[in-house]
Amino acid sequence: MSHEQLSPASRVVALGRQPRVPGAGVNAPLEFSSTYIADGPVNYARVGNPTWTAFEEALGALEGGDALVFASGMAAVSAAISLVPHGGAVVVPHHAYNGTTALLDQLAGTGAAQVRRVDPTDQAAVRTALDGAAMLWLESPTNPMLEVSDVRALSAMAREAGAITVCDNTFATPLVQRPLEDGVDVVLHSVTKYLSGHSDVILGALVTAATEAGDGLRARLSTARTLGGAIAGPMETWLALRGLRTLHVRLERATANARELAGRLDGHPGVETARYPGFGAIIAIEVPGGADGAERVAAATDLWMHATSLGGVESQIERRRRHPAEPQTVPENLLRLSVGIEDVEDLWHDLDRALRA
């Protein structure tokens, strides 16, 4: 049975294993070697190693392309942006991940890039902004406003305009959307989040299509990794692959929890607005009492971790505007909830109590 015939639930478990020969370990090797005996497929570990290969094979198959692992999501962001020629324009959603927008602002400050911010749900505005642009940056849903854009329509517009499309797929994961199939050129992951899933690893990845154009981009990104030197550690990569094995069950449970909680939060007396895109496990709520009110809710939870990440097995809550880099258009009283895999009634009890406190 070829892996292409398997469903994603089986793929996350089966891919990136050792060849089936007697005595081989069932898991990918965790290799701590900086260099290799000459004349093999890899000669130096900044260029590649067997632990990366196993993870890249698994993620590449899930996204339907070829993956490259990076030291962090931001290392992957930097490598992707390096595809923009000097002074080229990048069209980016207002509410993209704040590290991405901060990096673009820094490049704009030195004239290395131009930045055009858009509402990705306004297709006419995106079309106008794409005129002469080198890159369209997508994130769907956006962090933390949860705007969902039409990835297929927007990447087609970018192609027409001669721009490369990058899609940050961290929130959705390949189990929800596969942007390469929608015409995106480069898919990005902060592997730190859902793919590894246990809040114990910082890692990133880029995935390109298995086409001639995709291979060309992959070669440039691989060179950016080798020469930029922002490479993943084998230990982190191995842990991420271990985490990936349970992606399907974690996401299924977290999504079921998020659906249930989103329904209960909508109309709760301690909640002004609740946003949930209808898939995935991130919810954004606005609470009464402004920034202080939101901080009090986050501090009053017990089971929910008051922490800044997302995508782990443990539920997390945070007021996003506590970070100065967060766009001013994100409401001061917005709390981002990353729903984990705990018992939904325990999560509700803790959150409901904090919202009423």
Ligand X SMILES: *Cc1c(COP(=O)(O)O)cnc(C)c1O
Residues contributing to the site for ligand X (CB under 6 A): 72-74, 97, 99, 139, 143, 168, 170-171, 190, 192-193, 202, 204
CB of 100 to ligand X, least distance (A): 6
Taking CA atoms, 72 is separated from 97, 102, 279, 357, in Å, by 14, 16, 25, 37
Closest by CA to 155, choosing from 144, 140, 176, 170, is 140
Structure tokens, 305: 């971790």
Which residue lies nearer to ligand X by CB, 77 or 133? Answer: 77
Give dist(CA 106, CA 164) in Å, integer. 20
Q: Give catalytic status of residue 220 as yes or no.
A: no
End-to-end CA distance of the chain: 55
- Set 97, 178, 218, 319: catalytic member: 97
Structure tokens, 297: 């809710």
Q: Give catalytic status of residue 36 as yes or no.
A: no
Q: Give catalytic status of residue 119 as yes or no.
A: no
Q: What are the φ and ψ backbone dihedral angles of 113, each rounded to 5 degrees?
A: -150, 160
Q: Give catalytic status of residue 276 as yes or no.
A: no
- Set 193, 218, 250, 336: catalytic member: 193
Which residue lies nearer to ligand X by CB, 281 or 355? Answer: 281
- Set 11, 66, 117, 168: catalytic member: 168
Which residue lies nearer to ligand X by CB, 66 or 139? Answer: 139
Closest by CA to 93, choosing from 116, 111, 109, is 116
Give dist(CA 173, CA 179) in Å, integer. 10
Question: Residue with structure tokens 């106008």?
Answer: 128
Which residue lies nearer to ligand X by CB, 73 or 280? Answer: 73
Which residues have a catalytic role annotated?
Answer: 46, 97, 168, 193
